[in-house]
Structure 1
Amino acid sequence: MHTVIVGIGGVGGYFGGKIADSGQKVTMIARGKHLEAIQKNGLQVKSINGDFITTPFMVTDTIDEVEQADLILICTKSWQVVEAAKMIRSILKEDTIVIPLQNGADNAEKLLSVLDSKHVVGGLCRIYSKIEAPGVISHFGFPPEVVFGELDKTKTERLQKVKEVFDKTGFNNRISDDILVDIWSKFMFIATVSGLGALTRATIGEMFGHPELNKTLRQTATEIYEIGIAKGVALPDDIVDKIMFFIGKQPYDSTASTQRDIMEHRPSELDNFNGFIVKEGKNLNISTPTNAFIYACLQPMEAKARKK
């Protein structure tokens, strides 16, 4: 199996690095100083589960150099998914599988706007990781996991082929019974803590422990639940309680990647998180006042970051 990783940030760097380190054929699409460092020194991963350095089969910023792929993991930011989908069309075979792993609720839909449905499998990952320096990935929290499944809930032979790739790496992975429920459950967590965290500059533990901010977290999650249900996602009735419990179990000083992007004046996934819920609320005639407030407050910072 030839696996291509598009986007070598915290997610693509860790999971792509683990696949390459297991001896499998991996091509990484990177750019700039990060690309140069990996080409020169290999990809270095500093992990709470053990550090390693790996040399992928190829690291490039030119898709024309890449061999056709059996599996493609899209690990860009949410707003870059459509661009990535257009880029990879030249390396698709008849049976190439494409899985998006970034945060967001509609990444599979974005892929389907460009690619034939036969290529697209739903997916998500759970990890705290980031680029520490060019060529260096830091995994600093959470047992890494990839969850994936067919969008129509069928159990197909190709899912087992993907699982074989992941099983060789040693990181946790599973085939989902309902990938949309899993995607929206993770989205509820990440969108709930990201925007409010950026707005308050508080850690997840600080927000959860503050009575009023705890209420705001729950209100944000509840609005996301209402949008998900209206879109036909079979979210369980107690999902908001479960997400709040999960938030409370996070490391006290942890922050979400989108929160860090906003605080460090980088373009973020704000539009794909709270902004997505506000947009879907308008489309579905569902009120989302908490998400709307958070989104409006952060929009000026996002606009400045994107002008740089």
Structure 2
Amino acid sequence: MHILMVGTGGIGAYYGARLQHAGHKVVFVARGMHLKAIQEQGLKVTHPTLQFHQQVTICDEVELHQTYPAHEFDLIILTIKAGATAQWRNSWKNWLTATDTKTPILSLQNGVDNERLIAEVVGRERTIGGLAVRIGGHIVSPAVVEATGIAQIVMGYWPNHSQNPPPAALTHWQTDFQTAGIPTFVTADIQYELWRKLLINNGVNPLSALTRLDTRTLTSHPTYGHTVYQLMQETAQAARADGVAMSQGDVDEMFNLIKSFDAIKTSMLVDREQGRPLELAAISGAVLERHQRLGTQAPVTALVSALLEQGL
């Protein structure tokens, strides 16, 4: 496959390295010092099951648009921060919708709104929702990425294709990803799966950034663990605004799953430590906006979000 990896942070670098290592042609997009360092030194990705240090094809978005037509790629994988999705799709719109371009876009981002934003530009038929599950990945220095975890991918056409069998392209990509060492699953209802992941993201990401504690410390603590569970319950209730039914069983399953993880520094905690903007709007903001629509309350999510916004 010829793959475009938009975003070369912890997640994008890891999956892109896996795919290149398996023989696929990957073009990475990055910027700033990270881009310059990779151009000079190659990309280094370390994972318990992968040691990758190779030269890669990488450029910024201006060079990409001047050098490659979008239809040259078989798949575009988007791993940028959720808060940048709207600006990205607007600035890339002409390139993404040029004549003869039918390349699908797979979002591997936090939140439940990225796919809608993408589909508004390229259409649902080119929009694939996705989850990067049980992976921790971070840039430790320019051109150097460390990743941990099983690093699964769950994907499906957005919002679902529950009335029809999975399109052949999905099963083809699933096979290619599996062969590259990426456990991959195709779902008939990706919107449901995105909300299940938001249960975990809203449960631990903001609270970890606020307390500066890892996931295991949070979930095993008698007070913080109860707070995580409350945040997950508020998320499940918010899903009703999107017509997604989250049961108490979903909350219990996701809570027990995050409790079973190794201690993980969440992406929001890492962003706070490094002084980067937090994905608060895409995670807690999505929950609060749905509760507002439903005319209900999410007091724990509102409190944690307000404390983070105040810089505490």
**TM-score computed with the length of structure 2 as normaliser:** 0.90
Give, in whole Å, the separation in 2 of the partners of 1:289 and 1:65.
Answer: 49
Give, in whole Å, the separation in 2 of the partners of 1:53 and 1:60.
Answer: 20
Please tell me the residue identity of whatever aligns with 2:111: G
| Shift, 1:136, TM fit | 1.1
| Shift, 1:208, TM fit | 1.5
**What is the percentage of aligned positions where both structures have the same residue?**
27
| Shift, 1:40, TM fit | 1.9
Give, in whole Å, the separation in 2 of the partners of 1:185 and 1:288.
Answer: 17
- Aligned position for 1:72: 76
Give, in whole Å, the separation in 2 of the partners of 1:43 and 1:207.
Answer: 33
CA contact (8 A) 2:241 2:293 kept: no
| Shift, 1:84, TM fit | 2.4
Give, in whole Å, the separation in 1 of the partners of 2:101 and 2:168.
Answer: 15
**Structure 1 residues 197 and 204, CA, compared in 2 at 3 Å: closer, same or farther?**
same
User: Are 1:133 and 2:137 counterparts?
Assistant: no
| Shift, 1:71, TM fit | 0.5
Moved more, 55-64 or 109-118: 55-64
Please tell me the residue identity of whatever aligns with 2:121: V
CA contact (8 A) 2:77 2:108 kept: yes
Please tell me the residue identity of whatever aligns with 1:129: G
| Shift, 1:131, TM fit | 0.6
CA contact (8 A) 1:29 1:60 kept: yes
Give, in whole Å, the separation in 2 of the partners of 1:226 and 1:210.
Answer: 24
User: Are 1:123 and 2:130 counterparts?
Assistant: yes
Please tell me the residue identity of whatever aligns with 2:275: H
Map 1:146-161 to 2 at 5 A.
Answer: 146-151=153-158, 152-153=160-161, 154=164, 155-161=166-172
Aligned residue among 269, 275, 298 for 1:288: 298
CA contact (8 A) 2:81 2:110 kept: yes
Give, in whole Å, the separation in 2 of the partners of 1:95 and 1:15.
Answer: 22
| Cα deviations by residue, 1:244-268 (Å, 9 ceiling, x for unpaired) | 111211223x221012212432101
| Shift, 1:58, TM fit | 4.3
Alignment length (residue pairs): 300
Please tell me the residue identity of whatever aligns with 2:67: E
CA contact (8 A) 2:241 2:291 kept: no
- Aligned position for 2:309: 299
Map 1:140-219 to 2 at 5 A.
Answer: 141-151=148-158, 152-153=160-161, 154=164, 155-219=166-230
CA contact (8 A) 1:85 1:115 kept: no
| Stretches of structure 1 lacking an aligned partner (at least 5 in a row) | 303-308
| Stretches of structure 2 lacking an aligned partner (at least 5 in a row) | none
Moved more, 264-273 or 49-58: 49-58
Aligned residue among 104, 108, 125 for 1:101: 108
Give, in whole Å, the separation in 1 of the partners of 2:87 and 2:179.
Answer: 30
| Shift, 1:215, TM fit | 1.3
Give, in whole Å, the separation in 1 of the partners of 2:311 and 2:121.
Answer: 30
- Aligned position for 1:82: 86
- Aligned position for 2:280: 270
**Structure 1 residues 82 and 230, CA, compared in 2 at 3 Å: closer, same or farther?**
closer
CA contact (8 A) 1:66 1:91 kept: no
CA contact (8 A) 1:42 1:53 kept: yes
Please tell me the residue identity of whatever aligns with 1:244: F
Please tell me the residue identity of whatever aligns with 1:47: H
| Shift, 1:87, TM fit | 4.1
Please tell me the residue identity of whatever aligns with 2:79: C
CA contact (8 A) 2:83 2:282 kept: yes
CA contact (8 A) 1:149 1:175 kept: yes
User: Are 1:242 and 2:244 counterparts?
Assistant: no
| Cα deviations by residue, 1:275-301 (Å, 9 ceiling, x for unpaired) | 221122112212111100011111123
Give, in whole Å, the separation in 2 of the partners of 1:88 and 1:72.
Answer: 12
CA contact (8 A) 1:98 1:121 kept: yes
